[in-house]
Amino acid sequence: MATSVDDIDELAPVRVQRFAKSFEDVLTRFLDGDIVVVGHGTSCALTLNARIASVSSTAAMIRHGSGLIFVAMKQNRLAELRIPPMPADAASRCPGCHVAIDASDGTGTGISARDRGETLRRLADSESVPQDFRRPGHVVPVAGDLVVGGVAATPQIVLMLASLAEDASAAGAFTTLMSVERPCEVATPEEGIDIASRLGYHYVDGHAVRKAFYGYSWPSRPPGGLSGRTRGAIVS
C-alpha cells in the first residue's frame, strides 16, 4: 500500500498552502513589473517582466547588476524575429545567447535605461516584427527553452518564472546580481536574500520555480497564468 506525505507528516498540507501563497506573491510582483531576485546555484539574478519593463526598474537592474541585460525567450520567437544565435563552444556559459539588439526606433544610443527598457518591451511584444530591431545593440536575447538532457540554467529558470506569470507571451529580463560586500564578485544566494530584503524585492529560490513549473498548482491561479488580471499602466 502506497504511503502519502500526509500519512507521515500532518503538517505537510499547511506547508504546501504557505508555499503556494508565497510563490503566488512572487508571481504577482513579477507580473506587475517589480524586480524579483532569483537564487540559482552559487549566484543570483535580478529578474524583470520584460513586457512592462519601466525605466526605473531597468535602471535598478543596471545599478545593482553586472550591467549586461539578457532576455530569456523562446527559440521559435527569436527565429520569427530573425535574431541569429551567436557562435558558442562547448564550454560556453551561455550557449543560447543571440546577437545583441536595440529597438530600431524610439531609442538613442540604445545603452540608457530608457532605451534598454524600450528594447525589452519590444522583444516581449507579440506584435513586434524583425524590422523593429537593429543590431548590434545593448540587450542580449537568450533562448531559454528546456532541452532534453540539458541542465536548467539561469535563462531556463527565468523563462519558467515568466511563463508561470505570463503564459505564452513570456519574456523575462535578467542580469547577474553583484555582491555589495565584494563588488567585483557576484552575490551568493545567501547575500541575495539580504539584498532583496534591503531593496524591497521578493526573493525566490530557483528550485521553487522549477517545482512550480513542473506541475505545482494553487487554487487562486487562473489556468492561463496571472496575466489576465487587471494591471496598471507602465510607469517610469
Tell me the C-alpha distance between 230 and 96, whole Å.
33
pLDDT digits (tens, 9 = 90+) for 97-140: 999 999 999 999 999 999 999 999 999 999 999 999 999 999 99
Q: What pTM does this model have?
A: 0.81
**Bridge partners of residue 43, in order along the sequence:** 40
**Domains observed in the chain:** 13-213 (3.90.870.10)
What is the C-alpha end-to-end distance of the chain, expressed in Å?
Answer: 58
Determine the Cα–Cα distance for residues 148 and 221; give it in Å rounded to an integer. Answer: 28
Decide which of 49 and 24 is more confident: 49
DSSP string for 88-141: --TT-S-TTBB--EEESSS-SSS-SHHHHHHHHHHHH-TT--GGGEEEEEEEEE
Query: In whole angstroms, what is the distance from residue 108 CA to residue 116 CA?
Result: 10
Instruction: Give yes or no for a cis peptide into 136 (omega within 30° of 0).
Output: yes
- Comparing C-alpha atoms, which of 140, 142, 139 is closest to residue 157? 142
Beta pairing, strands 172-176 & 43-49: antiparallel
Q: What is the pLDDT of residues 33-78, one digit of tens each?
A: 999 999 998 999 999 999 999 999 999 999 999 999 999 999 999 9
